[in-house]
Amino acid sequence: MTQVIKPKLIDENGIRLDGRGPTDLRPLRIEVSVLEKSDGSAYVELGKTKVYAAVYGPKEAHPKHLAIPDRAILNCRYHMTSFSTDERKILGMTRREIELSKVIREALESVVFLEEFPRSAIDVFVEVVQADGGTRTAGLTAASLALADAGIPMRELIAAVAVGKVDGTIILDPSDIEDKYGEADMPIGVAPESNTIVLLQLNGKMTKDEFRRGLELARVGIQKIYQAQREALRRKYGASTTEV
């Protein structure tokens, strides 16, 4: 049992372990309507991070005493398969999964027109098949597409990405190893049309200036994600549906 040595994450040329520059996103693949039985679904792959999302509803809230008279309730579960991580994840929900379910739900609530479906429920399930950093943001990206695919009315889509700080540099889209050995990880969910933040967490240490630069870098990444989301919807539904 020896203390793990932190690897060098960015070389002298500013190149990251996987060959990216600090502001590069990993290869991104987005698809909608990937699961047959749900009302809406999406798949997001960001490097080795692989996430499904599915939506059921609007449907009758159940049990009934949880129903809200003037709008729908939104349920959300972020869950990881046991083999998605380096160490096997225990079965059942960890505290981390419960917290992330909450922040993803709150982000989605910010854009869904819940008032249109009083006394109803909308269920959102995010399933992380492989976790290599950025699973909550990939999950939120997928979940907002699954809602769109289910025809749930929304103010706009949500695009999400993480920024981080490793070896003193602010980077876009940290991988698992960069998250683990880096100095900070900051996942951000954005409603791009209104230019507002719907999910924001920070775990690590940044100066105020680094924090500002992190926010700016996130906006760059968000634009790329948002573009890919729109393309995925266009492939499925044609040009018109990108105006959700």
Partner 1 sequence: MSFLPLKERSFTIKIMSEKIYKLLQQGKRIDERSPYEFRKITMQTNVVEKANGSALVSVGSTRILTGIKVELGTPYSDRPNEGVFSVNAELLPLASKSFEPGPPDERGIELARVVDRCIREGKAIDLEKLCIIPGKMVYVLYIDIYVLDYDGNYFDPSVMSAMAALATCTIPKYSATGERVEGENIKVPIRDVPLSATLGIIRDRLLVDPCLVEEESLDTSIVVCLDSASNVVAIQKNSPGHIPFSLMESIINVAEEQISKIRAQFKEVVGIG
Name the residues that contact a second copy, by CB under 8 A. Answer: 62-65
Identify which of 168, 161, 173, 172 has the alpha carbon closest to the alpha carbon of residue 209: 168
- Where does residue 85 rank: exposed (0-12), middle (13-18), buried (19+ CB within 10 A)? middle
Q: Confirm or reject binding of residue 109 to partner 1 (CB under 8 A).
A: yes
**In angstroms, what is the minimal distance from the CB of 151 to partner 1?**
16
203 binds, among partner 1, a second copy, none (CB under 5 to 8 A by kind): partner 1
Select 61 or 126, whichever has its Cβ closest to a second copy: 61
* Residue placing its CB nearer to a second copy in the complex, 61 or 161: 61
Residues 6+ apart with CB under 8 A from 239: none
Whether the Cβ atoms of residue 166 and residue 174 lie closer than 8 Å to each other: yes
Residues 116 and 118: their CA atoms lie apart, in Å, by 6
Residue with smaller CB distance to a second copy, 37 or 62: 62
CA dist., res. 22 & res. 24, Å (int): 6
Contact criterion met (CB below 8 Å) for 181 and 188: no
Q: Which stretch binds partner 1 (CB under 8 A): 19-27, 36-44, 134-142, 231-239?
A: 36-44
Report cis status (omega within 30 of 0) of the bond before 58. yes
Which residue in the set 10, 30, 40, 56 belongs to the binding site for partner 1 (CB under 8 A)? 56
Question: Residue 98 interacts with partner 1 (CB under 8 A)?
Answer: yes
Size (the chain), residues: 244
Binding mask 179-218 toward partner 1 (x if CB under 8 A, else -) reads -----x-x----x--xxxxxxxxxxxxxxx--xx--x---
Q: Which residues pair with 189 in a beta bridge?
A: 160, 199
Exactly one of 83, 113, 151, 193 binds partner 1 (CB under 8 A); which one? 83
State the binding partner of 17 from partner 1, a second copy, none, CB within 5 to 8 A by kind.
Answer: none
Nearer to a second copy, 62 or 208 (CB): 62
